[in-house]
């Protein structure tokens, strides 16, 4: 499809970009994070509406650069959901001043645009550019608290690791171009099907691309940046980078590996299996000893990526379905947990887990919600996280990945310990002194209620969600 | 559509829990009233269920079936037969009386009763579920409230006990989850329906059956608990507040035993036959080892906790026998142990509330000061050590008779466990009730009316079943006969 004809299919992205620019300009005059946030939410809402209108295009757009299939629609909706919730959380984040809010929302909305392009890219170069855009904006956002040394340190680490791994990824893409003479995924897929390709070289270049994506999804051994970046970043940004780019990374993984390079599946399956096991195990074991809740949730999110990877490693439709549901559940429970962290840090001014002692007395509603999010992350039924684990383990058992499934369940027992530790502080210990209840920003509460409702509904009545996911894989 | 009685029994406590969530936390009386009302209604409904139950029909009754997650063939499927009806009744019975015993809880009442009712729903659902997915959900739901109930209202080492309980049980049950998935994918068409799996599971190759059986075993054995997975039990039982110890010993341990009856044995019969000897040996170890360890305790509650390990050994032994008699004994032992040990924990609580110690060596001569308490304690003790005429005897006897059929030596050694049991229980009576009065307890008061109200019904059940065991056997024998017939055991 020609460029002019294609434009109307990227209407949501155009709307978001427009709102981002408006927010940037308006931010010069209106220094109110609530007002600008509401404007951006309106932009997200419009984007969601236009996404539903005439979304699907039968043929690739922009001369094969983008592909608006139902798979990318699913992830675009996830991107918008994440960005919307993060905006709500940001509006209620006290450590963040009204001064820079125009710039901040501008960057947030552009992340959404970049994520939406990343999931619909059908060309390796396009994938590279949009992922790079997501990363570059994330680096800035992580370092957004300019006067906080930890924020800058986190951003620098994130940037250095990111630069290295995207470099490796680009190297891999150059090999692919050398092999196939094109970076268009459909063309590569067709060439692979015909069979006259050097599988070994293709495999090596795929592994280089995998390294870049491992960084995005924070998979072992490319996870080193996570704890410092997560701890240093403003908490709403931690919520964003631990859910949005991670989900997008998985979308791209699935699109490249399972949708287009599937003939090489036997070559990489063992590698992915090993990465999955190491990711879960490392994330869980290190999380146990963390005293800062953001670091702990950071390591926990590494472990969660390991579980999501189980479904991907299995590679069957059931496995991918499991991974997709897990991603949806993960995004909600993770954002919910970070939202609670923001709320709590607003009132107790600390992210230390031991400072959560006796939270049930200070703020029973938040303690209760955080407990549900943590139990969902741990995979206790009937919450969404359980269903996600159930589906990926089911896929592993069905395809005889017994070892992977056993590693997964043992890991979920280990993980239970550190989630329970937070719950223990909140409920089993008494608060250290007197306290005063504080009024909490309403937008933050809305974000938490949305996330909680999602976690409960997906866990109890998953029927429409499973249908939605099944449709997105058609 | 007929009245969905099982749904009501299972979810009434949850309804109460939600109501309590919206009750102001200083309205203590209202909270207690709601909790008592819903557990009482659940008890009445389960009595009604028992009255309408058809004894002679070995099949599932009061079935409820509606699709839940059709994409995965998961159903909301409840039902009860002779195997589960006794346990459902036991759960509602102990649920109601332990709720009354909970009136003594003074801190954080709203949270306590909320969690308590949630726990009840989890336990009842586990016994009523006929879909493995649903079963697993209820099974896991039990863990969370139990963690808080031990961890917040427990004794000095409550945090350790609570997390140990949680991690142990979770570690067991995740393997059960894998076993459930393995059953699902080996059935054709894929199903989680326990009744359909009971037909298809047995066609699996023996090696696969054994593997799946081990997965389930890890889940159930931790709950029972079978040696060597029993170490969480003394910690959890001792640290938990009295009403929760009652439910732990009375109901939670039965979830494991029930799992063997409902899932492991009917679905994986070749593996069950293969594991009969290990089951018998483990049962024997539980009986004898548990009894010896109980004998060494000076803490009253810990002694009762280890006596549970010993008594649950009879369930394993009865299961190993693969005979009608042994199965009947094992199932009955679960019910009887629930009422007797539930009563024992209540009695320990009565004493602890007054003396604030459980050290057996610090009592003495309390029979004079607390004659009614002494009488009731003696009845429950005698029931627990297996005196004929009381319910414990019947079920232990049936288990032993059944097991003797196949395992003569093991059964003979197990019988010795009864002698040791008699030894430590009588020694306990001697140290608590008899001898010269310890002057520290001159002003101790006898049992109160509320405490009596919780204990008398359990005592009546114990005596009634001891005198006329057919009350209980009538309910279970048809279903047990059907089970034995299906797995090719001995009709003896």
- Model confidence over B319-343: pLDDT tens digits? 999 999 999 999 999 999 999 999 9
pLDDT at residue number B316:
93
Identify all chain A residues contacting B182, using CB atoms and an 8 Å cutoff. 397
pLDDT at residue number A279:
94
Residue B174: which of A394, A397, A409 has the nearest Cβ?
A409
The residues in B 156-175 lying below 8 A from A, measured between CB atoms, are: 158-159, 162-163, 166-167, 170-171, 174-175
Cα distances (angstroms) measured from residue B280 to each of A51, B183, B216: 64, 25, 17
Q: pLDDT class for A434, splitting at 50, 70, 90? A: low
The residues in B 341-370 lying below 8 A from A, measured between CB atoms, are: none
Q: For residue A198, is pLDDT > 80?
A: no
What percentage of chain A reaches a pLDDT higher than 90? Answer: 55
Q: pLDDT class for A30, splitting at 50, 70, 90? A: confident
Using an 8 Å Cβ cutoff, are B237 and B266 in contact? no
What percentage of chain A reaches a pLDDT higher than 70? Answer: 97
Which of A56-70, A261-275, B148-162, B254-268 is predicted least confidently?
A: A56-70
- Smallest CA–CA distance from B165 into chain A, residue: A417
Residue A432: count of CB within 10 angstroms of its CB: 10
Residue with tokens 């008899």: B434
Average confidence (pLDDT) over A166-171: 92
A330 at B interface, C-beta within 8 A:
no
pLDDT at residue number A297:
93
Q: Which pTM does this prediction carry?
A: 0.94
Interface residue of B14, B20, B23, B69 to substitute, partner A, most A CBs within 10 Å: B69
Residue A156: count of CB within 10 angstroms of its CB: 17
Cα distances (angstroms) measured from residue A70 to each of A120, A188, A474: 10, 21, 7
CB contact under 8 A, B162 and A428: yes
CB contact under 8 A, A413 and B174: yes
Using an 8 Å Cβ cutoff, are A199 and A176 in contact? no
pLDDT at residue number A57:
65
A354 at B interface, C-beta within 8 A:
no
The residues in A 150-189 lying below 8 A from B, measured between CB atoms, are: none
- Smallest CA–CA distance from B185 into chain A, residue: A398
Interface residue of B72, B167, B189, B215 to substitute, partner A, most A CBs within 10 Å: B72
Determine the Cα–Cα distance for residues B42 and B47; give it in Å rounded to an integer.
9
B141 at A interface, C-beta within 8 A:
yes
Regarding predicted confidence, which is higher, A60 or B242? B242
Identify all chain B residues contacting A375, using CB atoms and an 8 Å cutoff. 144
Residue A66 forms beta bridges with which residues? Answer: A61, A121
- Model confidence over A346-400: pLDDT tens digits? 888 888 888 888 888 888 888 999 999 999 999 998 899 999 999 999 999 999 9
Residue A409: which of B152, B159, B177 has the nearest Cβ?
B177
Residue A466: which of B69, B152, B185 has the nearest Cβ?
B69
Q: What is the DSSP string of A413-465?
A: HHHHHHHHHHHIIIIISPPSS--------HHHHHHHHHHHHHHHHHHH--HHH
Determine the Cα–Cα distance for residues A182 and A260; give it in Å rounded to an integer.
14
A380 at B interface, C-beta within 8 A:
yes
Q: For residue A98, is pLDDT > 80?
A: no
Nearest alpha-carbon partner for B305 in B377, B355, B249: B249
Measure the N-to-C terminal CA separation of chain A; round to a whole number of Å: 22
CB contact under 8 A, B159 and A428: yes
pLDDT at residue number B399:
93
| B162 to chain A, closest Cα gap in Å | 10
CB contact under 8 A, A380 and B69: no
pLDDT at residue number B123:
94
Output the six-digit token pair for B131.
Answer: 């879909």
pLDDT at residue number A435:
64
- Listed as ranges, residues in chain B with pLDDT below 50 are none
CB contact under 8 A, B71 and A467: yes
Q: pLDDT class for A309, splitting at 50, 70, 90? A: very high
CB contact under 8 A, B185 and A397: yes
Nearest alpha-carbon partner for A211 in A159, A267, A163: A163
Contacts of B278 (CB under 8 A, 6+ apart): none
Interface residue of B153, B178, B207 to substitute, partner A, most A CBs within 10 Å: B178
ipTM reported for the complex, 2 dp:
0.92
Determine the Cα–Cα distance for residues B209 and B215; give it in Å rounded to an integer.
10
Question: HSE of B247 in the Cβ direction (CA atoms, 13 Å)?
Answer: 32
- Model confidence over A205-219: pLDDT tens digits? 889 999 989 988 889
Output the six-digit token pair for B95.
Answer: 């649920």
| B363 to chain A, closest Cα gap in Å | 32
Q: For residue A170, is pLDDT > 90?
A: yes
CB contact under 8 A, A420 and B163: yes
pLDDT at residue number A437:
66
CB contact under 8 A, B174 and A381: no
CB contact under 8 A, A463 and B144: no
Q: Report angle CA B457, B461, B463 to the nearest 5 degrees.
A: 115
Average confidence (pLDDT) over A279-299: 92
- Smallest CA–CA distance from A458 into chain B, residue: B69
Nearest alpha-carbon partner for B63 in B51, B53, B71, B72: B53
Q: What is the DSSP string of A164-216?
A: HHHHHHHHHHHHHHHHHS--BHHHHHHHHHH--S-HHHHHHHHHHHHHHHHHH
pLDDT at residue number A8:
82
Determine the Cα–Cα distance for residues B465 and B462; give it in Å rounded to an integer.
6
Output the six-digit token pair for A34.
Answer: 């609530």
The full set of domain ranges for chain A reads 1-159+225-249, 267-474
Determine the Cα–Cα distance for residues A391 and A473; give it in Å rounded to an integer.
15
Using an 8 Å Cβ cutoff, are B50 and B62 in contact? no
Output the six-digit token pair for A277.
Answer: 């096991």
């Amino acid at each position: 499809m020609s460029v002019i004809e294609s434009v109307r299919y990227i209407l949501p992205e155009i709307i978001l970009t427009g709102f981002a620019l408006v927010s940037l300009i308006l931010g010069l005059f209106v220094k109110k994070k609530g007002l600008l946030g509401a404007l951006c939410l309106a932009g997200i809402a419009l984007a969601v509406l236009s996404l539903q209108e005439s979304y699907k295009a039968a043929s690739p757009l922009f001369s094969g650069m983008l592909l608006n299939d139902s798979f990318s629609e699913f992830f675009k909706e996830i991107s918008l959901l994440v960005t919307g919730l993060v905006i709500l959380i940001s509006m209620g984040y006290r450590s963040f001043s009204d001064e820079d809010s125009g710039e901040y929302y501008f960057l947030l909305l552009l992340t959404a645009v970049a994520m939406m392009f990343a999931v619909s890219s059908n060309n390796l170069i396009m994938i590279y550019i949009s992922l790079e855009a997501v990363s570059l904006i994330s680096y800035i956002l992580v370092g957004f608290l300019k006067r906080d040394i930890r924020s800058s340190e986190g951003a620098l680490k994130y940037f250095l690791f990111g630069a290295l791994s995207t470099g490796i990824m680009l190297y891999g893409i150059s090999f692919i171009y050398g092999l196939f003479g094109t970076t268009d995924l459909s063309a590569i897929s067709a060439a692979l099907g015909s069979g006259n390709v050097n599988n070994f070289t293709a495999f090596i270049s795929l592994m280089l691309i995998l390294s870049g994506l491992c960084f995005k999804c924070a998979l072992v051994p490319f996870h080193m940046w996570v704890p410092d970046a997560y701890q240093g970043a403003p908490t709403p940004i931690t919520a964003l980078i631990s859910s949005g780019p991670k989900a997008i990374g998985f979308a791209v993984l699935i699109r490249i590996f399972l949708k287009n390079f599937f003939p090489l599946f036997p070559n990489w399956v063992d590698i992915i299996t090993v990465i999955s096991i190491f990711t879960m195990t490392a994330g869980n074991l290190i999380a146990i000893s963390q005293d800062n809740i953001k670091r702990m949730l950071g390591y926990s999110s590494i472990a969660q990526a390991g579980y999501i990877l189980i479904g991907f490693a299995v590679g069957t439709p059931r496995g991918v379905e499991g991974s997709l549901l897990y991603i949806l559940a993960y995004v909600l429970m993770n954002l919910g947990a970070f939202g609670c962290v923001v709320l709590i840090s607003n009132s107790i001014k600390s992210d230390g887990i031991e400072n959560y002692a006796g939270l049930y007395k200070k703020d029973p509603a938040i303690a209760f919600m955080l407990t549900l999010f943590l139990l969902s992350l741990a995979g206790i039924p009937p919450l969404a996280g359980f269903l996600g684990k159930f589906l990926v383990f089911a896929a592993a058992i069905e395809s005889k990945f017994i070892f992977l499934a056993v590693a997964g369940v043992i890991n979920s027992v280990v993980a239970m310990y550190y989630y329970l530790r937070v719950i223990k502080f909140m409920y089993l210990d008494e608060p250290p002194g007197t306290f005063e209840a504080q009024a909490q920003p309403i937008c933050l509460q809305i974000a938490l209620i949305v996330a909680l409702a999602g976690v409960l509904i997906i866990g109890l009545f998953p029927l429409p969600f499973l249908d939605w996911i099944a449709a997105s894989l058609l | 559509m007929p009245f969905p009685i099982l749904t009501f029994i299972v979810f009434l406590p949850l309804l109460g829990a939600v109501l309590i969530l919206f009750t102001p936390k200083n309205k203590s009386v209202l909270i207690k009233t709601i909790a008592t009302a819903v557990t009482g209604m659940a008890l009445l409904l389960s009595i009604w269920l028992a009255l309408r139950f058809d004894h002679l029909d070995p099949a599932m009754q009061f079935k409820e079936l509606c699709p839940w997650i059709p994409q995965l063939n998961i159903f909301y499927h409840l039902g009860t037969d002779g195997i589960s009806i006794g346990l459902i009744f036991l759960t509602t019975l102990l649920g109601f009386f332990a709720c009354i015993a909970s009136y003594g809880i003074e801190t954080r009442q709203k949270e306590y009763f909320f969690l308590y009712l949630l726990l009840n729903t989890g336990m009842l659902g586990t016994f009523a579920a006929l879909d493995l997915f649903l079963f697993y959900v209820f099974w896991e739901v039990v863990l969370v409230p139990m963690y808080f109930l031990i961890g917040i209202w427990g004794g000095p080492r409550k945090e350790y006990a609570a997390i140990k309980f949680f991690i142990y049980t979770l570690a067991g049950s995740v393997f059960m989850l894998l076993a459930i998935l393995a059953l699902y994918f080996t059935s054709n068409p894929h199903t989680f329906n326990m009744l359909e799996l009971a037909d298809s599971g047995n066609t699996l190759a023996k090696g696969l059956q054994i593997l799946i059986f081990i997965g389930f075993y890890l889940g159930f054995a931790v709950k029972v608990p079978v040696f060597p997975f029993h170490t969480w039990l003394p910690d959890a039982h001792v640290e938990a507040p009295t009403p929760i110890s009652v439910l732990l010993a009375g109901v939670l341990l039965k979830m494991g035993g029930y799992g063997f009856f409902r899932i492991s044995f009917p679905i994986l019969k070749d593996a069950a036959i293969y594991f009969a000897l290990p089951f018998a040996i483990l049962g024997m170890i539980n009986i004898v080892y548990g009894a010896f360890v109980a004998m060494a305790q000076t803490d009253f509650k810990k002694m009762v906790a280890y006596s549970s390990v010993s008594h649950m050994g009879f369930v394993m032994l009865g299961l190993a026998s693969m005979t009608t008699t042994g199965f009947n004994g094992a199932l009955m032992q679960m019910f009887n142990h629930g009422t007797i040990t539930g009563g024992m924990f209540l009695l320990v609580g009565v004493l602890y509330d007054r003396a604030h110690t459980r050290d057996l060596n610090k009592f003495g001569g309390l029979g004079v000061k607390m004659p009614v308490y002494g009488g009731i304690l003696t009845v429950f003790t005698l029931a627990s050590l297996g005196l004929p005429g009381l319910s414990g005897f019947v079920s232990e006897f049936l288990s032993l008779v059944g097991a003797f059929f196949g395992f003569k030596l093991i059964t003979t050694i197990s019988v010795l466990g009864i002698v040791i049991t008699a030894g430590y229980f009588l020694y306990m009576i001697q140290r608590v009730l008899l001898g010269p009065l310890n002057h520290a307890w001159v002003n101790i008061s006898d049992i109160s009316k509320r405490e009596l109200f919780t204990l008398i019904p359990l005592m009546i059940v114990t005596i009634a079943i001891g005198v006329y065991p057919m009350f209980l056997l009538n309910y279970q024998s048809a279903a047990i006969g059907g089970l034995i017939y299906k797995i090719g055991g001995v009709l003896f």
